A and B are shown apart, each in its own frame.
Chain A
């Protein structure tokens, strides 16, 4: 049982830390993406900046 306790405790800690970092990254970057989306929907898509390395664009 101790093995399970350490496993779940460790998993919880690691995911909480990673998730906290991701929330900051996505919150800040997502805001920029929203502005880009509105530009694209307004028909100003030709002014798009670099495509984030999307080498497989359809």
Chain B
């Protein structure tokens, strides 16, 4: 059991926060009158609340965990991930790339765009299924990461952690099922405030504790030049940096949870402002936890901690071990009271990520798979009920998946690869569907199908197909697979669209578009 400053007072702070969150869910239920209120809060988000909820849902506990793990494993070189994400979001905000035309079309989900743009209900159903499946797989390890955080910062045993995490998921389900997007927005806002203040304070305390010059010399001793230069770092390099920029575009403009925020915005002008301001948040959501991870690296290295390093002093290659470094460090760094506040903020972040993602995937399955399959004849009440039932079904799956899946790779890399099952194809469809009149439904089907091949980026799949050694010997990594498939999806969609284009191309675009 790790040493920690977590006390009964900190448990009280955490408990009070959790109860407050459920109370909000119960209270806002009175405002939910239909599917529009439930899914996109009646499209009433304004700029500052939009920024808070966007950063709130993206600056989650899981993000903090994998970012800190990257900082611990790669040193300052890991900062390139945040930098690429920030630049990508700023570019999207300034140009309105993808998100502005989507907001203008008034869609609530990306598969809905597929149908409006290509006039194909089957494409919407297929796209919705791929999106939800990849999304649920992508959040499959959120519970594990959350559990590692709670265990590390509070010092409680893993068996007890399982119960704590299950209780938290139940709380998330209660307030999300009741309040939908409205309660998600409120809890995101509270989490944004609490966690931002907690993390900023933790950064200051960490620098005071370890010392800046000590950090620099420590990272140099452990990682050498690769601890600072991302192009020289082990496991990073030019293609990885390019992959991070692409993921930056994806996570703000193609990933459904971020697009939902754009769709919920009051106007196109609000969408642009949200993205421009949030670019800083998209950068900081990586950089602050990475920095704490770097502080943990030097702190434990100089303290002679053997848990996180092998006998030669190199960082442990076991990703589940390095993931624990940040919470254990915070447990020893922060004083009583403040540690409760940071833990509450982090747990709030965990809950807000879950509420956003659960609501997102449940609504995609309802709106884009089940309802279109039944000819769009489901009543609003039936759709609301189904979405609420699906919230519970998905949560049940996550509890089981999170317990038995063997990580085998960094959490961030797992998430990038599992997400790419959807977004490699979706990126091609959005890009070509929005900006090229010649794109056809057959081309879109092809792009989605090509994107499915990204599943080979997952370690267990590689082992199942007996290609793990081949990929390792030829130094083919997740980023190579993801970038190649993104390019291949684009090319395949163009080629198939050209072949299947028949002159009366997509009259639906004009009919349903702007």
Interface on A for B, CB 8 Å cutoff?
1, 4-5, 8-9, 11-12, 15-16, 18-20, 22-23, 25-27, 29-34, 36-38, 40-42, 45, 51-58
Contacts and interface: CB of A to CB of B under 8 A. Distances in A.
A30 B48 contact: yes
Given A23-B196, A58-B104, A12 B280 contact: no
B320 interface: no
Closest 10 CB pairs of A and B: A29-B48, A33-B49, A4-B228, A40-B44, A56-B268, A54-B267, A57-B267, A41-B31, A30-B52, A54-B269
A55 B103 CA distance: 15
Contacts of A54: 266-270
B200 A37 contact: no
A11 B47 CA distance: 25
Nearest to B52: A30
Interface in B195-236: 196-197, 200, 203, 212, 216, 220, 225, 228-229
A52 to B, nearest CB: 6
B315 interface: no
B48 A36 contact: no
A41 B182 contact: yes
Interface string B30-51: 0101000100011011111111
Given A23-B196, A33-B49, 12 more contacts: A5-B76, A5-B216, A12-B79, A15-B280, A19-B281, A22-B280, A23-B193, A29-B49, A33-B50, A40-B44, A41-B37, A41-B41
B269 A56 contact: yes
A52 B168 CA distance: 37
Interface in B64-95: 76-77, 79, 83, 86
Contacts of A58: 103-104, 106, 267-268
A5 to B, nearest CB: 6
Contacts of A1: 220, 225, 228-229
Contact of B42 (A4, A33, A40, A55): A40
Contacts of B31: 38, 41-42
Contacts of A4: 76-77, 228-229
Nearest to B77: A4
Interface residues of B, number: 52
Contacts of B281: 19, 22
5 contacts: A1-B228, A4-B228, A11-B83, A19-B196, A30-B189
Looking at chain A's contact residues, the main secondary structure is helix
B378 to A, nearest CB: 23
Contact of B186 (A34, A56, A57): A34
Given A5-B216, A15-B283, A19-B281, A57 B266 contact: yes
B46 A37 contact: yes
B99 interface: no
A22 B287 CA distance: 16
Contact of A33 (B48, B106, B228, B269): B48
A37 B51 contact: no
A53 B83 contact: no
A8 B225 CA distance: 13
Given A16-B200, A30-B189, A54-B269, A22 B229 contact: no
Contacts of B288: 16, 19
A22 B285 CA distance: 13
A23 B200 contact: yes
Nearest to B105: A58
B28 to A, nearest CB: 8
B47 A37 contact: no
Given A56-B267, A56-B268, A37 B45 contact: yes
B228 A5 contact: yes
A8 to B, nearest CB: 5
Contacts of B42: 37, 40-41
B185 interface: yes
